[in-house]
Structure 1
């Protein structure tokens, strides 16, 4: 079968607010596993943007509407510079995750900002985005969305584990892809590292020197979310209601908080992958070597990490892939993962019109 090359730019912004991930990727539409990340980079947020996105959960509807447009302009301009920097000529579409502000699927609510029409206008390219809303309307969690990529691009692994703002996992069970959020990771670790004036705890060094708070660890592990069966997903709201108050009640020393939360994460992850060496681990948390050591120890496995490009940009890659599936009207959202009433093809298309950049 002849190759059918498709070129896409994928955009991802995670809850840990480490920046906007961009990939320029080439797919063979006849053989999805034949892909190449040609260019990739992360654009860090300014302090102003980081502060705005952290507070946006408390914005009014009118403020969110303005933010949606402003963030769309930011994404559009970031992509425009990315295209110019690498002199990219061939683009079939841009696929954008946006940035999650609200995620309460039980109430039928999910919001990813970053207006697709604005991105299309600034870049003069076709854009596909808003991948979660339709799934929530169909009774699903609207998350996680990456597992369709795990299924079709990385099926050589028994488990695909992502360590980002939250940890999430995807695997095959009884011929169905199962996936769910496991627990918070960087959204908590970075929050407390910030209190020390640091962006994050490099390699987990501060955590490794902290004291384990057994009482806090026990209460974290006892949270009811961990006993729930999938499909299930987490959002910032859950962390603010359940994690931060518990930590702040039982521990004040930041190094001990980091030490204890790393142990909590390792335990929750090991409950799922214990004894299985076929695990693809990606996401920014991979660079927390202390966390990786604790996961390996609790899981009794040998962890072999993939190349840095895949570690950093797997989610942006898969959102480009979700866009490809949507463009071909193929299923890109699995009901076995999200709990939606049916498998479906999710996302909305936007096409360029001329506006001022």
Structure 2
């Protein structure tokens, strides 16, 4: 008989490289799952770590192995500090996503560093991690994994959109949960803000001053990925090999690039959403007011909801915490309908 209450720590590092998100969450399961985020914070990466994680896409196998060990140690230290700072005692598990370096499901491969058994040796708690590998082995995309959380925690919305390093969306179609990655978001927007010496384009202030370049926008919207049927997912390879070369081929200003790419994001999201529906938006992009304005312009009849700060900032940590709890219960936490795997399954390594 499973218990009703779980206290777990969800840990997430996204492709936007803003840091490690940690959330201490109380889950309750009676008729349905409910949650309360009790403590949360984002621990920013030191600049040298940002550079390593940015460039790890190009690392050799031996360099990646060494990075995996050092990153696992870093993650353990961050988690231990979080536990100490908030004086956490009741911890059923630490549920950690790790940080994605390579994502090539078409080659049967995905790599999230920070998920080594070493994490268990450094932290005296049950660890649940490495959620994506099993799905890829079952022929799936290994992503997106958040939709099970949308299904169980946010079912009142027709669409759940996350605007992080990439945009991803989940929704019901023919009584089945569907989901996929839509386009890059902060992986591109932050790159150009960084080029201007800023961590990000606050509220889209720079993008708002730019002019949309119609030919660049047309070429972005015409990329093969957007015509493919779902399930489908994106990784940094798509940004490095396709998006950046295309953007760099146009000799236009940074504000114009940002304005054009924001419009591209809005166009691609709008192509998914049906009119007269409810849309929940979370992730760092929810603070990009210019992007939200463009989305509302493209979706005039859609009711857009941006929740309170904790849910915006820590939704992915929240949901990976839930994935960990479901794994401990040996219940389905990955949906074949969204990843394309052979079957629904309960994924993740458990280090007791």
Specify the TM-score bucket, using the shorter chain as the normaliser. over 0.9
Secondary structure of the equivalent of 1:250? Answer: coil
Secondary structure of the equivalent of 1:272? Answer: coil
Alignment pair present for 1:27 and 2:27: yes
Work out the CA distance in 1 between the residues paired with 2:147 and 2:2.
27
Corresponding residue for residue 305 of structure 2: 304
Corresponding residue for residue 45 of structure 1: 45
Secondary structure of the equivalent of 1:142? Answer: coil
Corresponding residue for residue 210 of structure 1: 210
Alignment pair present for 1:56 and 2:53: no
Corresponding residue for residue 314 of structure 1: 315
Residues 271 and 299 of structure 1 are in contact (CA less than 8 Å); yes or no, is this contact kept in structure 2? no
Residues 23 and 41 of structure 1 are in contact (CA less than 8 Å); yes or no, is this contact kept in structure 2? yes
Which sections of structure 1, spanning at least 5 residues, go unmatched?
352-357
Work out the CA distance in 2 between the residues paired with 1:318 and 1:132.
14
Q: Are the structure 2 counterparts of residues 347 and 15 from structure 1 closer, same or farther at C-alpha, using a change threshold of 3 Å?
A: same
* Paired residues for 1:19-168 under 5 Å: 19-168=19-168
Corresponding residue for residue 237 of structure 1: 237
Corresponding residue for residue 328 of structure 1: 329
Displacement of 1:141 in angstroms is: 0.2
| TM-score (normalised: structure 2) | 0.97
Displacement of 1:115 in angstroms is: 3.2
Secondary structure of the equivalent of 2:81? Answer: helix
**CA offset digits 1:310-354 (Å, max 9, x no partner):** 000000000000000000000001100000001100000113xxx
Displacement of 1:35 in angstroms is: 1.0
Displacement of 1:250 in angstroms is: 1.4
Residues 69 and 115 of structure 1 are in contact (CA less than 8 Å); yes or no, is this contact kept in structure 2? no
Q: How many residues align?
A: 351
**CA offset digits 1:149-170 (Å, max 9, x no partner):** 1111111111000000000000
Corresponding residue for residue 354 of structure 1: none
Alignment pair present for 1:225 and 2:238: no
Residues 279 and 303 of structure 2 are in contact (CA less than 8 Å); yes or no, is this contact kept in structure 1? no
Residues 168 and 181 of structure 1 are in contact (CA less than 8 Å); yes or no, is this contact kept in structure 2? yes
Corresponding residue for residue 182 of structure 1: 182
Work out the CA distance in 2 between the residues paired with 1:34 and 1:103.
31
Residues 165 and 184 of structure 2 are in contact (CA less than 8 Å); yes or no, is this contact kept in structure 1? yes
Displacement of 1:123 in angstroms is: 2.1
Cα-Cα RMSD? 1.4
Displacement of 1:210 in angstroms is: 0.5
Secondary structure of the equivalent of 1:16? Answer: coil
Residues 332 and 346 of structure 1 are in contact (CA less than 8 Å); yes or no, is this contact kept in structure 2? yes
| TM-score (normalised: structure 1) | 0.96
Displacement of 1:277 in angstroms is: 3.9
Work out the CA distance in 1 between the residues paired with 2:3 and 2:330.
19
Which sections of structure 2, spanning at least 5 residues, go unmatched?
none
Secondary structure of the equivalent of 1:88? Answer: coil
* Paired residues for 1:287-302 under 5 Å: 287-300=287-300, 301-302=302-303
Q: Are the structure 2 counterparts of residues 56 and 31 from structure 1 closer, same or farther at C-alpha, using a change threshold of 3 Å?
A: farther
Corresponding residue for residue 199 of structure 1: 199
**CA offset digits 1:211-238 (Å, max 9, x no partner):** 1101100000000111100010001001
Residues 164 and 285 of structure 1 are in contact (CA less than 8 Å); yes or no, is this contact kept in structure 2? yes
Q: Which runs of 4+ in 1 moved over 6 A?
A: none
